[in-house]
A = this chain, B = another copy of it.
Amino acid sequence: MNNPLILITNDDGIYSKGIYSLQKTLSEVGDTIVVAPDGEKSGVGHGITISDPIRVNDFGNKDGFSGYAVSGTPADCIKIAFNALLERKPDIVISGINRGANIGLSVLYSGTVSAAAESVIQGVPAIAISLDDWLSPDYSYSSKVAKKIVEIVLSKGILPNIVLNVNVPKTPNGKAKGFRITRQGTSNFVEEFDKRTDPRGNYYYWMNGEFSPKENNPNIDDVAIRSGYVSVTPLHCDLTSYSSISHLEKWKELENDIE
């Protein structure tokens, strides 16, 4: 039997420490291949590159770490890996380890989660993994978490079309209290725009944001990690608000012709 083929990507870019640690640890589980953005692509969501050409460069081999550096987004990396770079589809895709959590509504902006979503759209199970530590991330424990979940998914499978969105807490001893299966919450970043003037006298803005917790249910993603647990949220790509359909079907105005 062949080793499982594990495709690794992220949105922090191929030079980031999180993807390096992930590849090192997952090479104990199967054959790994890295296809990741050639620079930071945080916040690009499920963006894809359709108006510009896409470049692919061999990253070379750096201390056993090798892969392809792609000039596009994380979702581009999955599309081009599946359709142009790999000889066969991987058995699993894992995206991360992201520097900073991907929880609540910020999931929508996450290139890390979107790469995993792109993979399940194309029929391959996928995991997104993030560490809730922006300032001084140490990826050793979260890499073990990734390994454990990859091993479970490879042995048991997951439901079709589901992304597992895994968030690892920052804790004093570096370890979590355990796992919690969670829901995506409604907490979000609240943005401010910092207006500045450039050396030529033209103004510009920087977007800056601060995470604003709104939830307290223990089974919500951001509450779980704040309580020291690894949060595992099953996500899908169906945005339909089923509970709103009957409400809209009562809109009698829609029965009238447009002039």
Contacts and interface: CB of A to CB of B under 8 A. Distances in A.
Given A235-B240, A237-B239, A43 B54 contact: no
A233 B240 contact: yes
Contact of A45 (B42, B114, B183): B114
A49 B53 contact: no
Interface stretch (A1-9, A79-87, A88-96): A79-87
B193 A83 contact: yes
Contacts of A249: 181
A186 to B, nearest CB: 8
Q: Could you say how many copies of this chain the assembly holds?
A: 2
Interface string A239-259: 111111101110101110011
Given A108-B46, A204-B55, A258-B144, A245 B253 contact: no
Interface residues of A, number: 84
A179 B253 CA distance: 10
B232 A47 contact: no
Contacts of A47: 43-47, 73, 109
A51 interface: yes
Shortest 4 CB-CB contacts between residues of A and residues of B: A45-B46, A234-B244, A179-B254, A45-B45
Interface of A: 40, 42-51, 53-56, 73, 75-76, 79-80, 83-84, 105, 107-109, 114, 117, 121, 141, 144-145, 148, 152, 156, 158-159, 161-162, 164, 175-176, 178-179, 181, 183-184, 186, 188, 191-193, 195-196, 202-207, 209, 232-245, 247-249, 251, 253-255, 258-259
